[in-house]
Structure 1
Amino acid sequence: MENKSLTALVSAFSRAYHAQQNQIKIFDDQLARQLITDEEFKNISSNMSQAIAFFQPEFVGSQEQALREIVDHQLSPSPLGRAAFAEQTLEVAATLSARQYLIFAAGYDTFAYRQPKWATNLQIFEIDHPATAADKRRRVSALQLDVPSNIHYISADFREPDWQSSVLACPAFDPSLISFSSLLGISYYLSKDVFKHLLSAIASLVPSGSSIVFDYPDEQTFTSQAGERAQKQVMMAARAGEPMQASYSYSELEEMLEEVNLLIYQHLTPAEITEELFKTYNDSQPSYKIKAFDNVNYCLAVKR
């Protein structure tokens, strides 16, 4: 997880690029660009545009056109879609009864610094590996942003068996309050047993009625039936030394969640994600349509 900051940085880059390039957005993260230095933005842009030969060998166009193609086709669908889904469902939860928002593997998430009025009653907890958490705080400090009083930073290594103690030790955390947890971009890189244990551990921290949102790869991800983007993503992860480890059918996921006292409340397939979350943007940008990532589903689960 010490290396996850690079993955998180690329995710922030994709959100920043999308916000800069479009008036109508799938997910509007205006602060993401501020967290990335000019040098980092330039280097990521260059590296990604050069990757066009791997992703689309037959592509013909300028470096800037190649960058847009890579961002829209490969990089941004998942970070944009899952963030939009998470914050939409969070708003509903906060309007009803949720009073705590736990962001696991927070990376360079900016919600706490651009929080809307409906979030003022939430206590927000950014939970991440110490190295990534420290880098995030350094970047925020350099920007001299006003840090809201309802944000709390918790350093925790999810590989450690007692990581929950770090959450419980935070004076602002109240295990009796209905909570909303986001666990985005993580399930891919954990074995099924480890992911199940993580969900169980989160569920043990919060009361009934609390919810968890996450994205996950479906059962075809590691097969020849997977989409081309998914197949290349699996290859890239393996080459980077962070191989994807698990995928789930809906029935398998449902059974696993029931075993840790969670029930599926909302579930979106790629086609549903494109239709429900991307339609407004796609209608506004017919030349730059974005399609939800192959073989990736979104799930909102509620503790019984």
Structure 2
Amino acid sequence: MKNKSVTALVSAFSRAYHAQHNQIKVFDDSLARQLLTKEEYEGIAGSMSQGIAFFQPEFVGTQEQALRRVVDYQLSPSPLGRAAFAEQALEVAVMHGARQYLIFAAGYDTFAYRQPEWATKLQIFEFDHPATADDKHRRVLALNPAKPSNLHYISLDFSEQDWERRLLDYHAFDPSVISFSSFLGITYYLSKDVFKHFLSTLTKLLPSGSSIVFDYPDEHTFTPYAEERTQKQVMLAARAGEPMQASYSYKELEHMLEDVNFLIYQHLTPDQITAQLFKAYNDSQPAHPITAFDNVNYCLAVKR
């Protein structure tokens, strides 16, 4: 990946739009808007509102109404839902002794800059490809030159066979400390072998009781049985130069995790995500409901 991630920028836009336009939120990323320039924000907004004919051909309304429909229907469900799921699980993990937070494929994640009081005990590590990581650091530096004292940046490509050396060589990382890892929005773009190797490497690095949270596409994602939103998302990712590569049934995922010494602790299907994470927002915005993305599940797994 030589260029910064397009999908990561669009995810940041969707979190920013949601935070700006709603009082009750699925997930409140209060800093996402500040990471985007005025030109970028307006450019993405314009592209998305003009794309309403692709997402919902039957739509009739203004450009602003079209943008809201595209954001709520297509863009926001995954970035908002998985972030809410991950940070809720992280808080519980900290209560049970986790002291390191490993954010893989961090993109434009802002947790380290808006961390609540309960996170101050954490050492936070952000990992990403150099192009995206460098771009994010440049944007953050323009906002606030003072980096949180418990935040550490590590540029790496975790599809490489020995990526763990970069982490083990980093002075602040302690492999004996219970850790919480997030791997959001990335399993789609990795082959099954690469994902399993990542999990296998992670379980060798961390002690028992450590956990990982991730989202993943189900076994129907690349089939005619996929929902319309999913089919269009697959098309968009390919057009952006970031084609999706793998999908999993629950049983397949369960066996893969067991093979590398992880057990599924919590698992949410789209209906469960909508009911558990989106209810308060949907109750407050009946005219603009958000439903969890079709064919995408969330998983929290713990090392035995």
TM-score, normalised relative to structure 2: 0.98
Q: Give 3-state SS (helix, strand or coil) of 1:213's partner.
A: strand
Q: CA deviation at 1:241?
A: 2.8
Q: Which residue of 1 aligns with 2:89?
A: 89
2-structure distance, mates of 1:3, 1:297: 28
Q: Give 3-state SS (helix, strand or coil) of 1:60's partner.
A: coil
Q: Residue 14 of structure 2 contacts residue 71 of structure 2 at CA under 8 Å; is this kept in 1?
A: yes
1-structure distance, mates of 2:248, 2:70: 27
Structure 1 segment 1-304 matched on structure 2, within 5 A: 1-144=1-144, 146-304=146-304
Q: Give 3-state SS (helix, strand or coil) of 1:103's partner.
A: strand
**Structure 1 spans left out of the alignment, 5+ residues:** none
The more displaced of 56-65 and 291-300 is 56-65
Q: CA deviation at 1:147?
A: 2.0
Q: Tell me the alpha carbon deviations over residues 176-224 of structure 1, each in whole angstroms, 9 at most, x when there is no partner.
A: 0000000000110111111111111122211111000000001111112
Q: Residue 270 of structure 2 contacts residue 297 of structure 2 at CA under 8 Å; is this kept in 1?
A: yes
1-structure distance, mates of 2:133, 2:69: 31
2-structure distance, mates of 1:239, 1:104: 24
2-structure distance, mates of 1:22, 1:240: 29
Q: Tell me the alpha carbon deviations over residues 50-99 of structure 1, each in whole angstroms, 9 at most, x when there is no partner.
A: 11111111111111111100000000000000000000000000011100
Identical amino acids, percent of aligned pairs: 76
Q: Tell me the alpha carbon deviations over residues 227-271 of structure 1, each in whole angstroms, 9 at most, x when there is no partner.
A: 110011112222333221111110010000001111100000000
Q: CA RMSD in A?
A: 1.0
Q: Give 3-state SS (helix, strand or coil) of 2:45's partner.
A: helix
**Structure 2 spans left out of the alignment, 5+ residues:** none
The more displaced of 147-156 and 197-206 is 197-206
Q: CA deviation at 1:295?
A: 0.5
1-structure distance, mates of 2:88, 2:3: 29
1-structure distance, mates of 2:9, 2:239: 18
Q: Tell me the alpha carbon deviations over residues 102-139 of structure 1, each in whole angstroms, 9 at most, x when there is no partner.
A: 00010110000000011011000001111111111111
Residue type at the aligned position of 1:21: H
Q: Tell me the alpha carbon deviations over residues 125-160 of structure 1, each in whole angstroms, 9 at most, x when there is no partner.
A: 001111111111111110125421100000111232
Q: Residue 4 of structure 2 contacts residue 135 of structure 2 at CA under 8 Å; is this kept in 1?
A: no
Q: Residue 4 of structure 2 contacts residue 131 of structure 2 at CA under 8 Å; is this kept in 1?
A: no
Q: Residue 269 of structure 2 contacts residue 297 of structure 2 at CA under 8 Å; is this kept in 1?
A: yes
Q: Residue 212 of structure 2 contacts residue 300 of structure 2 at CA under 8 Å; is this kept in 1?
A: yes
Q: CA deviation at 1:2?
A: 3.3
2-structure distance, mates of 1:69, 1:54: 12
1-structure distance, mates of 2:28, 2:41: 18
1-structure distance, mates of 2:262, 2:179: 14
Number of paired residues? 304
Moved over 6 A (4+): none
Residue type at the aligned position of 1:133: A
Decide whether aligned partners of structure 1 residues 241 and 148 sit closer, same or farther in structure 2, where only a CA change above 3 A counts. closer
Q: Give 3-state SS (helix, strand or coil) of 2:138's partner.
A: helix
Q: Give 3-state SS (helix, strand or coil) of 2:5's partner.
A: helix
1-structure distance, mates of 2:225, 2:301: 27
